[in-house]
Amino acid sequence: MAVADVLKLIEENDVKFVDLRFTDTLGKEQHVTIPAHVLTEDAEEWFERGHAFDGSSIAGWKGIQASDMLLIADPASAKIDPFFDEPTVFMSCDVIDPADGKGYDRCPRSIAKRAEAYLKASGVGDTAYFGPEPEFFVFDSVTWGTDMSGTFVKIKSEEAAWASAQEFEGGNTGHRPGVKGGYFPVPPVDSGQDLRSAMVLLLEELGVPVEVHHHEVATAGQMEIGTKFSTLTQRADWTQIMKYVIQNVAHSYGKTATFMPKPIVGDNGSGMHVHQSIWKDGKNLFAGDGYAGLSDTALYYIGGIIKHAKALNAITNPGTNSYKRLVPHYEAPVKLAYSAKNRSASIRIPHVANPKGRRIEARFPDPLSNPYLCFAALLMAGLDGIQNKIHPGDAADKNLYDLPPEEDKLIPTVCASLDEALAALDKDREFLTRGGVFSNEWIDAFIELKMKEVNLTRMTTHPVEFAMYYSL
Instruction: Give pLDDT tens digits for 45-91.
Output: 999 999 999 888 888 887 655 578 899 999 999 999 999 999 999 99
Is 275 assigned a ligand-binding role in the annotation? yes
pLDDT of residue 305: 97
How large is the average pLDDT for residues 30-55?
93
Judge whether residue 316 has pLDDT over 80: yes
Instruction: Considering only residues 249 and 345, tell me which one the structure prediction assigns the higher pLDDT.
Output: 249
Determine the angle formed by the axes of helices 418-427 and 440-459, rounding to 10 degrees. 160
Choice between 40 and 409, residue whose per-residue pLDDT is larger: 40
Judge whether 49 is annotated as a binding position: no
pLDDT, the chain, mean: 93
For 382, phi then psi, to 5°, come to -65, -40
Given this model, what pLDDT does residue 64 score? 53
Is 133 part of the annotated catalytic residue set? yes
Cα 71–366–254 angle (5° rounding)? 75
Q: What are the tens digits of pLDDT across the range 346-355?
A: 999 998 989 8
pLDDT in tens, 225-238: 999 999 999 999 99
Active site residue 348: no
Annotated active-site residue 169? The verdict is: no
Q: Who has greater pLDDT, 52 or 344?
A: 52
- Give Cα 127 distance to the centre of its chain: 20
Catalytic residue among 105, 133, 190, 366: 133
300 in Cβ contact with 391 (< 8 Å)? yes
The mean per-residue pLDDT over the stretch 407-424 comes to 91
Q: Which one, of 331, 324, 326, lies nearest residue 348 by Cα?
A: 331
- Give yes or no: 224 in active site: yes
Rounded to an integer, what distance in angstroms lies between the CA atom of residue 28 and that of residue 22? 8
pLDDT at 1 over 80: no
**Residue 401 pLDDT greater than 80, yes or no:** no
Please confirm, yes or no, whether 441 is among the known catalytic residues.
no
Task: List the catalytic residue out of 97, 105, 224, 237.
Answer: 224
- Stretch 296-319: mean pLDDT, rounded? 97
Is residue 224 annotated as involved in ligand binding? yes
Find the helix packing angle between 232-252 and 108-122, rounded to 10°: 150
113-to-53, 94, 167, 379 alpha-carbon distances in Å? 21, 10, 52, 12
Residues 303 and 394: their CA atoms lie apart, in Å, by: 11
The residue-averaged pLDDT of 263-286 equals 95
How do beta strands 17-23 and 88-97 pair?
parallel
Looking at the DSSP bridge assignments, the partners of residue 52 are: 70
Q: What is the pLDDT at residue 422?
A: 98
Domains and CATH numbers, the chain: 3-103 (3.10.20.70), 127-470 (3.30.590.10)
> What pLDDT sits at residue 248?
98
Among 11, 42, 48, 54, the one annotated catalytic: 54
Residues whose CB is less than 8 angstroms from the CB of residue 158 and which lie 6 or more positions away in sequence, other chains included: 140, 166, 168, 176, 191
Q: What is the predicted pLDDT for the residue at 99? A: 85
237-256 pLDDT per residue, tens: 999 999 999 999 999 999 99
Q: Per the annotation, does 135 bind a ligand? A: yes
pLDDT on residue 405: 80
Of 21, 363, 419, 429, the active-site residue reads 363
Cα separation of 130 and 77, whole Å?
18
Q: Would residue 420 show up in a list of annotated catalytic residues for this protein?
A: no
214 labeled part of a ligand binding site: no
- Residue 467, pLDDT > 70, answer yes
User: Mutual orientation of helices 296-307 and 371-387 as an angle, nearest 10°?
Assistant: 120
Nearest to 155 by CA among 220, 215, 224: 220
**Ligand-binding site membership of 325 (annotated):** yes
Measured CA to CA, the distance from residue 273 to residue 255 in angstroms comes to: 25
Q: How many residues does the chain have?
A: 472
Residue among 24, 81, 105, 135 flagged as catalytic: 135
Active site residue 428: no
Q: Does 361 count as an annotated binding residue?
A: yes
Which residue type does 220 have? A
Q: Which is catalytic among the residues 106, 213, 273, 359?
A: 273
CA neighbours closer than 13 Å in the CB half-sphere of residue 255: 23
Q: What is the pLDDT of residue 329?
A: 63
Beta bridge partners of 259: none
216 is in an annotated binding site: yes
Instruction: Kindly name the residue from 24, 140, 361, 419 that is annotated as catalytic.
Output: 361
Confidence of residue 331 (pLDDT cuts 50, 70, 90): low
Give the C-alpha separation, 401 to 240, whole Å. Answer: 34
Question: Of 343, 397, 426, 453, which residue is the catalytic one?
Answer: 343
Q: Over 70: is that where the pLDDT of 150 sits?
A: yes
Out of 92-106, 203-217, 323-337, pick the least confident: 323-337
Half-sphere exposure in the Cβ direction for 241 (13 Å, CA): 28
When mean pLDDT is compared across 78-87, 101-110, 397-406, 461-470, the lowest value belongs to 397-406
Confidence at residue 332, expressed as pLDDT on a 0 to 100 scale: 78
232-252 vs 371-387: helix crossing angle, rounded to 10: 150
Q: Which phi and psi angles does 329 have, rounded to 5°?
A: 80, 5
Taking the CA of residue 355 as centre, how many other CA atoms within 13 Å lie in the half-sphere pointing to its CB?
15
* Residue among 395, 392, 446 at smallest CA distance from 424: 446
Is 277 part of any known ligand binding site?
yes
Region of 220 please: left (phi>0), alpha (psi -120 to 50) or beta.
left
Question: Do the Cβ atoms of 323 and 380 come closer than 8 Å?
Answer: no
- The reply to whether 28 sits in an annotated binding site is no
More confident residue, 172 or 59: 172
133 labelled as ligand-binding?
A: yes
